[in-house]
Amino acid sequence: MRNWKFVLISVLALALLVPTAFAQVDPSGSGLTIGFAQVGSESAWRTAFSEAVIAEAEARGINLLFSDGQQRQENQIAAIRSFIAQGVDAIILAPVVETGWDEVLQEAADNDIPVVIVDRNVTADRSLWVTRVSSDFVHEGRLAAAWLAQATAGDCDIVELQGTVGSSAALDRQQGFNEVIALFDNMEIVLTQSGDFTRTGGKEVMESFLNTMDPADICAVWAHNDDMLIGATQAMEEAGIDPGDDILTISVDAIPDIFLAMAEGKANATVELSPNMGGPAFDAVVAYLNGETLPDWIPVAGGIYFPDTAMEEYEARSGGGE
């Protein structure tokens, strides 16, 4: 009899534990506290990305702890450690560079805090992060090069404005672009330098390029983001060059200002990098916490845009052009 009572009590005790062990997170993520370690605010696209994540968190009832890393990895690592100390439910990391993350991500894992990577990639051990939400940077580079090859019949000397050295966006866009132009004997990158994804950097590097070689020998500018290209167009105009006509331009991001530049004839094309990654990232956190298995990569799609729809896109993306 005593054994039968013991078994009954044990079963009841286990039954009481079941709701806790299999508690489900609300599909919206409402009630969760999530730390977001952002790269910085170096470009208009990055600012739009941050604003989109914050708005998405507010709409879902998520308590978002936001940290601006100011483009410094040490700031992002400190933010992650602060998130861990505060006992967040999950961490979203947009890494400034690919390497150097294993130690701090291991600290998150040791505290059972899942980490979702967004935008740029990391080289950290695969067991230390749940999934990555991002665009296909290699595809963006390929798309930009394919347009330029078509526009120039595969005959073009190109100057390149690279993004932040060591970032996956810069590395992958460069890889994709180079893969395509390698198919054409008369397409070549003749000068390349990092503008660090900033408008000021793009202007300074383009000024250097124009002082290094005869502008008449430059067929096109390939910029890893729109802000660097807008800076480069300012340098060209100050040098008496007509950007978009004398020198073709192609960049990535699709921020409002590049559409205005296209409408004014100063830019030729941009490949879209969607800033709306907050929703998919929060969905990934919820799915993981609810016990689902996620793929290594959750892609966010974008297209290529030209001057024919530039003003329409500018008005739509800048709140009616106000």
The predicted structure's pLDDT at residue 3: 52
Using a pLDDT cut of 70, give the percent of the chain over it.
92
The predicted structure's pLDDT at residue 301: 82
Residue type, 255: I
Q: Tell me which residue range forms the domain holding 122.
A: 33-135+275-291
Q: Domain check: are 73 and 149 in the same one?
A: no
pLDDT in tens, 167-178: 989 999 999 999
Residue 256 counted as domain residue? yes
In sequence order, what are the beta bridge partners of 193?
161
Residue 148 counted as domain residue? yes
Residue 111 counted as domain residue? yes
Q: Domain check: are 269 and 282 in the same one?
A: no
Is a pLDDT exceeding 50 seen at residue 66? yes
Q: Domain check: are 311 and 162 in the same one?
A: yes
In sequence order, what are the beta bridge partners of 132?
117, 297
Model confidence at 293, pLDDT cuts 50, 70, 90, reads very high
**What are the b/e assignments for 30-68, b being 16+ CB within 10 Å?**
eebebbbbbbbebbbbbebbbebbbebbeebebebbebb
Which position has the higher pLDDT, 117 or 319?
A: 117
Rounded average pLDDT over 209-217: 97
Q: How many structural domains compose the chain? A: 2
Q: Domain check: are 192 and 242 in the same one?
A: yes
Q: Domain check: are 74 and 168 in the same one?
A: no
Model confidence at 264, pLDDT cuts 50, 70, 90, reads very high
Q: Domain check: are 92 and 233 in the same one?
A: no
Is a pLDDT exceeding 80 seen at residue 310? yes
- Contacts with 71 (C-beta within 8 Å, 6 or more apart), sequence order: 39, 40, 42, 96, 164, 196
Half-sphere exposure of 135 (CA within 13 A, CB side): 24
Q: Domain check: are 110 and 187 in the same one?
A: no
Please give the C-alpha separations between residue 29 and each of 113, 304, 307, in angstroms, as whole numbers: 15, 33, 39
CA nearest neighbour of 208 among 250, 160, 266: 160
Residue 235 counted as domain residue? yes
Average pLDDT score over the chain: 92
The predicted structure's pLDDT at residue 319: 60
Matching residue, tokens 């208009």: 44
Q: Is 168 helix (H, G, I), strand (E, B) or coil?
A: helix
CATH number at 202 reads 3.40.50.2300
Residue 19 counted as domain residue? no
Using a pLDDT cut of 90, give the percent of the chain over it.
85
CA nearest neighbour of 317 among 260, 244, 252: 260
